[in-house]
Amino acid sequence: MYDSLWYANLPKPPLMPPNWLFTPVWIILYLVIFLSLLIYTTTKSRGDKIKGYVYFIIQMLLNIAWSPIFFIMKNVELALVVIILLDIFVYLMIRKFHEVSKLAAKLLYPYFWWIIFATYLNCGIVVLKFLA
Q: Please, what is the end-to-end C-alpha distance for the chain in angstroms? A: 25
Q: Following DSSP, what letter does each residue of 62-105 receive, concatenated?
A: HHHHHHIIIIIS--HHHHHHHHHHHHHHHHHHHHHHHHH-HHHH
pLDDT confidence of residue 13:
97
* Average pLDDT score over residue span 58-82: 97
pTM: 0.94
pLDDT confidence of residue 3:
74
What's the pLDDT tens digit per position in 5-59?
999 999 999 999 999 999 999 999 999 999 999 999 999 988 899 999 999 999 9
pLDDT at 1 over 70: no
